[in-house]
Amino acid sequence: MSTISTPAESGPSSALTEPFHVRALLTVTAVTFLGVFLILPLVAVFTEALRNGLGTYVDAMLDPDALAAIRLTLIAAAISVPANLVFGVAAAWAIAKFEFRGKTFLTTLIDLPFSVSPVVAGLIYVLMFGAAGWARPLIDSVDLQIIFAVPGIVLATMFVTFPFVARELIPLMQEQGTDDEQAALSLGANGWQTFWHVTLPNVKWGLLYGVLLCNARAMGEFGAVSVVSGHIRGETNTMPLHVEILYNEYNFAAAFAVASLLALLALVTLGVKSFLEARHGAELARSHRH
Amino acid sequence: MEIVLRNLCKRFGGFQALEGVDLSIASGELIALLGPSGSGKTTLLRIMAGLEFADQGEVRFGDEDMASRPVRTREVGFVFQHYALFKHMTVRDNVSFGLRMRSRPRRPSRTDIHDRAEELLDLVQLGGLGDRFPHQLSGGQRQRVALARALAIEPRVLLLDEPFGALDARVRKDLRRWLRELHRTIGTTTVFVTHDQEEALELADRVVIMNIGRIEQAGTVDEVYEHPATPFVFEFLGNTNILSARIESGEVFVDGGTKPLRLHSTAPQGAAMVYVRPGDLRLADDVASAPDIPIVVDSVHRTGPLVRAEVRVLQGGAMLTVELPHLHHDTAHFLPGNQLRLRFLQHSVFPASIEAGRTAAPIDAIGYAAGRIRARADI
């Protein structure tokens, strides 16, 4: 908020200076807006979580169903984030450094999960792998449960978080061009060496940033996971789903306790993100023009 | 390493970048590819490097066919206009990159690599800066690191793409002289691309002038400057005055002139164009006077080392630019309004049909190359 009030402090020499009452009005409006819509809810989450004392808070966390939900969320993130990291880097490398037929189509396809409602994303998997799904015979033959089980949750999470890493890297890599790679090749490096020693170090901060956003979304995803999960307590509930169940049972303290964990994750993500932006701002700024 | 290019053609979509280029480069030569943007000079360089592949034609290093070899195995040192240094590596790691990437049997020991990198940094006068990162160096220093990095793999040929293009004028001049010295020391066959004619003439053993995907002329600095093959070459290498003329029985009658120029070759009778540089115009005197053009001085600018006068030919009104060294005794006569008579120190005559050389279409290029006439006034 300091950035908002800075103009008010600058001297009368500034050509952009407005009269005092205008500045005050604008500042108050902005601060109020931020307070009501962002700060207050965040504070509410933590106060509600701790309303009945620290004991209740800890109990809610140590509840076996809550622990199962936390574990499942971590598993889903632990599989989908690395998978999307590998895919995102590969896709960005292909799109930014090579020319091929269908490149525009691939770029559009990567954006698909952003434009599709998460509920639809979940339904896609139900339609494919559910009781009447067309891929049913295939998975029955290998005796694998997908819908209402962990694989479905992982699939839905992967679908929703698919674009994060690739979207972060493509503009960055395109901006950097291919001179560095060509230089490495002319010096005798092979394709893998070029990628590992030149391309990847050039985008490492952008990559970390993308992974961070991808992870935050993977852990917080509700819609798509809700459709494929089946809400079986202790088995197919992720943290966001667990929060909803507790809330619907009027167990507010426990609901807010688990929710506070998710809020904490968001704060940590924001913190690391700001740190990255402060330290590697110039490099990251380029990738944010999309 | 000798380089032979034969009948190279390259098309990018609808754009013909190269159209039948032939060029032989002797071992140890320092060659400049000179031309305006879009002339195909960079494409030609990249095809030599293996960063681009020709649609047809031959690329040979010595006796080895290179046409289908990728850049990785060609052993060329390539230097980019914007350096393309690896930002996250120290200067020393940049220089030793090529050696470090070699497969184990061919890779020198760690200490040898380190020593070699230091040696190269000394060679490019950056000794002691090995631990710096590229962003801590100036543009000229970065380009020297790029050169050291390219030399580390002991390349068979050194290829430089507008190596001084991103540097300011002062640094560019210093680096030019320095590169000339370096080439003399290491003797590697070197080809560099530039659009700066001064740079090409100052640095290269031979200059290859390109236009619209073809070579207009390849020759030593004296050959291309004193005997330009085409109007394009003449105009590209410096400021130009153009006068129309007629050729009759072995003599050239310049429009507005009173005396014919001698023609030292057989040429078709009829219309012609005479090209003369501003610095090759002097006052006519008793000894030498052709073509003895009466003019009136329009304006005079003194630009330090040169006195530049705009003059009008009395008969016909054509405008000419005259440049004289500032201490030349003729300068006293160049005052606005003065009527004077001019002679040529040196000039070129081209048939008028190809005066379109200003916007030369490639078909014409052959036409006027074949129809070239060259004349020299007695000085």
Q: Is A193 on the interface with B (CB under 8 A)?
A: yes
Give me the pLDDT at residue B364, please: 29
What's the sign of the alpha-carbon dihedral B178, B182, B184, B190?
Answer: negative
The pLDDT of residue B203 is 92
Residue spans of chain B under pLDDT 70: 264-267, 353-379
Q: If you measure CA to CA, which chain A residue comes closest to B74?
A: A186
Question: Angle between the A103-115 and A163-176 helix axes, to the nearest 10 degrees?
Answer: 140
Q: Predicted confidence band at A53 (pLDDT cuts at 50, 70, 90)?
A: confident
Query: How do B157-161 and B3-12 pair as beta strands?
Result: unpaired
Nearest by Cα to A197 from B45, B87, B316: B87
Residue A4 has pLDDT above 60, yes or no: no
Judged by average pLDDT, the poorest of A17-21, A84-88, B121-125, B198-202 is A17-21
Question: What single-letter DSSP state applies at residue A135?
Answer: T
Does B78 contact chain A (CB < 8 Å)? yes
Look at residue A232 in the predicted model and tell me its pLDDT.
83
Nearest CA in chain A to B160: A183
Decide: A147 and A230 in contact? Cβ < 8 Å.
Answer: yes
Provide the pLDDT for residue A285. 57
Interhelix angle A179-186/B139-151, rounded to 10 degrees, is 30
Q: Are strands B30-34 and B206-211 parallel, antiparallel or unpaired?
A: parallel
Is A175 at the interface with chain B, CB within 8 A? no
CB spacing of A187 vs B152 below 8 angstroms: yes
For chains A and B, CB pairs below 8 A equal 64
Contacting residues for B38 by C-beta, under 8 A, at least 6 apart: B212
What confidence category does residue A56 fall into, taking pLDDT thresholds of 50, 70 and 90? confident
pLDDT of A6 reads: 46
Bond before B291 cis per omega within 30 degrees:
yes
What is the Rg, in whole angstroms, of the alpha carbon atoms belonging to chain B? 25
Measured in angstroms, the CA of A204 and the nearest CA of chain B are apart by: 10
Q: Cα(B214)–Cα(B232) distance, rounded to whole angstroms? A: 12
* Euclidean distance between CA atoms B62 and B189, whole angstroms: 12
Q: Is A208 on the interface with B (CB under 8 A)?
A: no
Q: Beta strand pairing status for B214-220 and B206-211?
A: antiparallel
Highest mean pLDDT among A5-14, A86-95, B159-168, B264-273: A86-95
Nearest to B96 by CA among B81, B115, B83: B115
Give the C-alpha separation, B254 to B276, whole Å: 11
For residue A278, is pLDDT > 60?
Answer: yes
Q: What predicted TM-score, i.e. pTM, was given to this entire model?
A: 0.80
Window from A189-203, A261-275, B102-116 with minimum mean pLDDT = A261-275
Short-list A79, A164, A155, CA closest to A124:
A155
Reading the block at residue A94, the tokens are 């292909």
Contacts of B359 (CB under 8 A, 6+ apart): none
- Residue A282: phi and psi, rounded to 5, are -60, -45
What is the per-residue pLDDT across B27-77, written as a single tens digit (0 to 9) for each?
999 999 999 998 999 999 999 999 999 999 999 999 999 988 999 999 999
Please give the C-alpha separations between residue A5 and each of A12, B41, B203, in angstroms, as whole numbers.
Answer: 15, 56, 59
Tell me, what DSSP letter sits at residue B310? E
Burial B82-118 (b: 16+ CB within 10 A, else e): bbbbbbebbbbbbbbbbbbbbeeeeeeeeeebeebbb
Q: Does B149 touch chain A (CB under 8 A)?
A: yes
Instruction: Report which DSSP code applies to A267.
Output: H
Tell me the nearest-neighbour CA distance from B86 into chain A, angstroms. Answer: 7
Opening angle at CA B185, ends B184 and B186, nearest 5: 100
Q: How far apart are CA A238 and CA A236, in angstroms?
A: 6
- Strand B56-61 and strand B214-220: the pairing is unpaired
Residue A282, Cβ neighbours under 10 Å: how many? 8
Nearest to B149 among A179, A187, A190 (CB): A187
pLDDT at residue A102 tops 60: yes
Tokens encoding B148: 């050291």
Inter-chain touch A182–B102, beta carbons under 8 Å: no
Q: Does A188 touch chain B (CB under 8 A)?
A: yes
Q: Reduce the DSSP state of residue B206 to 3 states and report it.
A: strand
Describe the crossing of helices B91-100 and B110-123 by its angle, rounded to 10 degrees.
Answer: 130
> In this complex, is the C-beta atom of A182 within 8 Å of any C-beta atom belonging to chain B?
yes
CB spacing of B101 vs A202 below 8 angstroms: no
Q: Do A201 and B102 touch (CB under 8 A)?
A: no
The phi-psi region of residue B250 (left if phi > 0; otherwise alpha if psi is between -120 and 50; otherwise beta) is left
pLDDT of residue A282: 63
Which DSSP category does B35 fall into? -
Residues of B within 8 A of A97 (CB-CB) are: none
Cβ–Cβ < 8 Å for B45, B60: no
Tens of pLDDT along B136-150?
A: 999 999 999 999 999
Three-state secondary structure call for residue B360: coil
Question: Which band of pLDDT confidence, cut at 50, 70 and 90, is reported for residue A244?
Answer: very high
Nearest C-alpha in B relative to A201: B88
